Each structure stands twice: as structure tokens, then as C-alpha cells.
Amino acid sequence: MSLLPAQAVLTPDEKGLGCLLIDLGGGTTDLALFYDGAIRHTAVIGLGGSNVTHDLAIGLHTPLEAAEELKISYGCAVADRIEAGKMVEVPGVGGRDAKPIEQHVLASMIEARMEEIFTMVYRESKKNLFTDLIAGGVVLTGGGALLEGVVELTERIFEMPARIGVPRGLVGLRDDVEDPRYATAVGLVLQSREQKDSDRVEEPHLFGKISAPMKRWFGEFF
Ligand SMILES: Nc1ncnc2c1ncn2[C@@H]1O[C@H](COP(=O)(O)OP(=O)(O)OP(=O)(O)O)[C@@H](O)[C@H]1O
Ligand SMILES: [Mg+2]
């Protein structure tokens, strides 16, 4: 995992006490374990938010775009939070009629995949004997951190406090940049500001990782 999101979202306390940063991306879930102010272990899990969306598309027989929309608008990582009997419309594939399903069912499918992802992250941390050291808890970034109920699910699996990490540390940061999805991008700005002009070799590579909407506000910082 790159250190960029960590630079933007972790407090000095968290880095000192020890914490686990989980970046919930589309294609991958990246983790970084901090202890004593330094990064001690990183790993990448080959599952992410797009797997959740795929599960919904397949399980609910709906197009991918509809599955993504359902996840964002009605999804929840803790199915028990959804009142029984609440229904949502699921668009059909290939012009078929939309069908109602219980929102609880949607959330159960999401919960199953998110639980799998967090369990893999937990095992990876445990394997490296760091779980007992992370008194600072778990910090979530990336688009998946916006999923309803994701903090609760994290706390259940890791048995420690979790929070969503929104990027901080840039003076003049626009409000709409305070979003866990932009942690990597803001980390990049922070790092670039720290770097001397002589040490900018990596930048083109790093820029490749930043998605188009973020590039819009990037101009403000360079
Ligand atoms: N409000 C939301 N609720 C649930 N999931 C969301 C929400 N917003 C975005 N996501 C999910 O977050 C994922 C994308 O996250 P992010 O933008 O951090 O990924 P990325 O950095 O482009 O991908 P990667 O890190 O894998 O390269 C997608 O799977 C998307 O469905
Ligand atoms: Mg990412």
C-alpha cells in the first residue's frame, strides 16, 4: 500500500499508538499497519467494492450500473440495521421489468462480502502479530468507507474502535475534498509539498493513480 492515504488521514497519536489503515478501493483493499510512528506492514487484498457490486448484479439479476446505484443509495454493511419489510426496486436486465426486493436482502449480500474482506484483512494483521499492538484502532479510507454501516461491521470483526478517515492537513482545502475517497490524492499533495524540487521522480507514476474528478481540484495545490 502506498503511504499516501496515511499521510492525509492519520493523526500523530494514531501512528504512535499503533493503528491499522484500511483503504477500501474498487479493485483492491489495501492495509497498512502503523506502530511507533512508522509503517510496519502492508498488504493488498484482491477484493474490493467492485466485488460487492458484482455480487449484487449476479444475485439480483440486475445490470452492474443498477447494482452500483443500489449499493450506494440503499446498501448497508450491517443487515440488522434495516427494518424488516422495507422494499427497494431492482431494475431488470435487458429491458425486463423492475422487481421489488427487501432492502434487508440487499444488505445481507453486501454484509457477506464485506465480512469476507474484513476477515481477510484481520487474518493478515493477526498473522503478522500486530493486532495486539494497534491501540489506536482502525481507520477506513477509500470509497468503500462511505458504505452505510461499515464502521460498525469493522468494529465487530476487529473488536476495536474504528473511524472513517477524511483527508486533513491542507490549508484551504475545499469542503468537498474532505471525503475518504480523496485520501490518496490529498496524501500526494502533502507529500509533494514536503519534497524538494530535486526529488520528484515518482510523481508521474503517482499521478497515474489519481482518478479524473480529483485532477480538477489538483490545480489549486500545484
Ligand atoms: N457511497 C458509497 N457507498 C458504498 N460504496 C461506495 C460509495 N461510494 C463509492 N463506493 C465504492 O468505492 C469503490 C471505489 O473506491 P475508491 O474511489 O477509493 O477506489 P479506487 O481508488 O478508484 O480503486 P482502487 O483503490 O481499487 O484502485 C467502488 O467500489 C465504489 O462502489
Ligand atoms: Mg484507491
* Ligand 1 pocket, residue 147 CB under 6 Å: yes
Structural domain boundaries in the chain? 1-10+12-49+75-83+102-222
Cβ of 49 below 6 Å from ligand 1: yes
| Nearest ligand atom owner, CA of 29 | 1
| Spatial CA neighbour of 57 closest among 45, 70, 47 | 70
Pick the residue with more confidence: 197 or 19? 19
217 — pLDDT class (breaks 50, 70, 90): low
In the chain, pLDDT over 90 holds for what percent of residues? Answer: 57
Whether residue 173 has pLDDT greater than 90: no
Among 1, 146, 166, residue to substitute to test ligand 1 (most atoms within 8 Å of Cβ): 146
Per this entry, what is the length of the chain? 222
List Cβ neighbours of 67 (8 Å cut-off, separation of 6 or more). Answer: 53, 54, 56, 57, 60
Tell me the pLDDT tens digit for each residue of 57-95: 999 999 999 999 999 999 999 999 999 999 999 999 998
Which amino acid is located at 208 in the chain? G
Q: Alpha-carbon distance 106 to 81, whole Å?
A: 12
Number of the ligand closest to the Cα of 5: 2
Give the predicted TM-score (pTM) of the model: 0.86
Atom of ligand 1 nearest to the CA of 209: 27
**Distance between the two ends of the chain, CA-based, in angstroms?**
24
Select the more confidently predicted residue: 41 or 163.
163
**Set of cell numbers at residue 139:** 481507520
Mutate to test the pocket of ligand 1, among 181, 210, 211 (most ligand atoms within 8 A of CB): 181
- Ligand 1: residue whose CA is nearest its atom 21: 25
- For the stretch 109-164, pLDDT in tens is 999 999 999 999 999 998 876 667 788 999 999 999 999 999 999 999 999 999 99
Residue type, 108: S
Query: CB within 8 A of 103, min separation 6: which ones?
Result: 74, 76, 82, 83, 86, 87, 88
Q: How many helices (H) and strands (E) does the chain have?
A: 9, 7
How high is the pLDDT of residue 176?
72
pLDDT band at 52 (very low <50, low <70, confident <90, very high): very high
Q: Which ligand is nearest to the CA of 73?
A: 1
Fold topology of 1-10+12-49+75-83+102-222: Nucleotidyltransferase; domain 5 (3.30.420)
Q: Give the number of the atom of ligand 1 that is nearest the alpha carbon of residue 183.
A: 18
Cβ of 44 below 6 Å from ligand 1 = no
106 CA to centre of ligand 2 in angstroms = 24
